[in-house]
Structure 1
């Protein structure tokens, strides 16, 4: 089967998450990704366990490195550098997340490579950019804290909380992919490559969307609302007779349907008749709704509210989330040929050039399968 990126060679000098996630997505679309790793150690995430997969591989590494081959090079040696340079010069795309300036010192930066290969695309991923923030360490948790995400996440004011996954790394990896694809499109049209730069902080600020816009466009500094939404209600987690239920009521029509199913006369109350009014009286509305929801369990309300077109759902653990996706025919888990390690499916569905799963995450030399 032909992939959208068949024939594109990617030299992957990245490690941990943002870069490897980006290059795996490119590999899923058919790119030939060669992952450069340190001899004897490899990518840091090879050692980030437990948990481990059935073949002993750290699940962290396994989750972002399928469809790649590894090349173990000592970049401090002339031989290793020569091989690295040969790889970079024959690549269509070079991806790296070293400290800004490192690739230039190695002679593998964009200017050096483009002088011999004008069509090369170099994607540099950093924590805080290549300017004044170049020396700052680019760790997801730090950017969640310093970039404002933790200030709007958590149960209540005074308890800022990180997201339960390295979300900023993932968002940055996605930004890197679309930057690379745009650069490939430009190269197809002009023959000219370019330097793509993306950093964790800028990616997070963009991904804060309405919260960031509240500040930039409205001068409002958002705070923590727990599971509530700053601009919509009821939109959060509500208690029922047995376990919590999420309501995501986005308009007045849905609110009237909610009230009908709950058999409560709240939609006619001026405090709750419109969304702005509901936001202004969110605490009183929560009390009234939870009194009604407390008469039955979450499954009862999920069935009735869903039938009435009211967005709602139970709070699943990861196992429950995969079970849901499976029940909906989304095929969230895939088997990789020749590997006992199952993989999370690529979420793209392309009618002509779908993602493919060709090889397992590369093993370390001498490792026991």
Structure 2
């Protein structure tokens, strides 16, 4: 944790007033698009001070529209809260000097440049670590830094190359991508774990270190049982639509007015389900009594369950099955998902920022008994905090007179 020294800028005041498990740590965020910015946003929620450095053209997600909110990209707004912002052209000697001054006071440097990109700009990972041995340098690539170093790191490409698209979709349809950039988000989570672990290691042993991850390795790790099965058996899993290869019933089923998802994961739950469906014979039928048999004989069990479930509405089945301990639920749209979480008391949406730049934002899902998470800074406009950052980095005598945003902690 760097010594902030005299409180001579808004940044110093922000650091001093931050709360949370990472309060006092400073992250220089050279990331853009999704994986790296998502990670740094999470670090900011936990109390770290994030300095987002953008190129003259800005983060690409600023221009990924629609949808928009008050003329700004909702994509950008969703992953960039709790950050200060400065626009730097790293090809310009003065701006490069500012970047180095920021790194001198930072604890972590995050980037997702293509391998070799920062070297061309004078901020190569090895050079930066030699000059600032305290610094943790955390980088994300698409396909690693060896054979895949020249491949562009787009989530869609990784979903295709990893095999994820091959197992997504119905048996008789073409492969599908997931509805979100899932491996970007998962890589951001892995990067966050790596950064927090490296900070802990530095507190124990001294200097920082370099950590890296990539979308491809993350995809293979996060496909878990599917890649594990392929590695063990030498056979590739196939598309099964909404069904699970090893568990049944674990899929959507038709009701009288829609569909309900059943997620019956063990024999005890299955026996209880059959009792509630008033078909206890389906629990003792040798074709379905054991989990392995239900999976192997799903084609025979599915029409029997569907015939019963079509006799009531989705809500009626949910009200009957869920209180009894049967894992089930409706298929909501995204707005319905937020409303469902709200009905459970999860408070999924909070507010960030102040005045005209106060936005709804999806709450960080981690809770701490000893801390409230931070929701203080609205997603920044390009170069919004230049004077404050220059003053904090010792590159200008200018100071920011505006008060530190207080916001409302979670």
TM-score bracket, normalised by the shorter chain, equals: over 0.9
Residue 97 of structure 1, CA deviation: 0.3
| 1:304 matched residue in structure 2 | 320
| 1:203 matched residue in structure 2 | 218
Residue 110 of structure 1, CA deviation: 2.5
Choose the corresponding residue for 2:230, options 215, 226, 244. Answer: 215
| 2:39 matched residue in structure 1 | 22
Equivalent-residue separation in structure 1 for 2:216 and 2:115 (angstroms):
14
| 1:271 matched residue in structure 2 | 287
**Matching of residue 111 in structure 1 with residue 87 in structure 2:** no
| 2:271 matched residue in structure 1 | 256
Residue 181 of structure 1, CA deviation: 0.7
| 1:318 matched residue in structure 2 | 334
- Verify the 8 A CA contact 1:11 1:36 in the aligned structure 2: yes
Query: Which SS does the other structure have where 1:232 is aligned?
Result: coil
Choose the corresponding residue for 1:32, options 34, 49, 53. Answer: 49
| 1:356 matched residue in structure 2 | 374
1:72-101 CA deviation, whole Å, 9 max, x = no partner?
A: 001121112111122123211000001111
Choose the corresponding residue for 1:94, options 109, 115, 122. Answer: 109
- Verify the 8 A CA contact 1:252 1:274 in the aligned structure 2: yes
- Give the number of the structure with larger relative contact order, counting CA–CA contacts within 8 Å between residues 6 or more apart: 2
Structure 1: 5+ residue runs without aligned partners? none
Equivalent-residue separation in structure 2 for 1:107 and 1:350 (angstroms):
40
Equivalent-residue separation in structure 1 for 2:114 and 2:316 (angstroms):
53
**Matching of residue 11 in structure 1 with residue 33 in structure 2:** no
Residue 364 of structure 1, CA deviation: 2.7
Give the CA RMSD over aligned residues: 1.2
Runs of 4+ in 1 over 6 A off after TM superposition: none
Question: Within 5 Å, which residues of 2 pair with 1:23-172?
Answer: 23-39=40-56, 41-53=57-69, 55-172=70-187
Equivalent-residue separation in structure 1 for 2:176 and 2:131 (angstroms):
47
- Verify the 8 A CA contact 1:348 1:354 in the aligned structure 2: no
Query: Which SS does the other structure have where 1:69 is aligned?
Result: strand
- Verify the 8 A CA contact 1:157 1:225 in the aligned structure 2: no
TM-score, normalization by structure 1:
0.96
**Matching of residue 289 in structure 1 with residue 338 in structure 2:** no
TM-score, normalization by structure 2:
0.87
1:110-156 CA deviation, whole Å, 9 max, x = no partner?
A: 32112122111001100000011000010000000101111111122
- Corresponding residue pairs, total: 364
- Verify the 8 A CA contact 1:258 1:305 in the aligned structure 2: yes
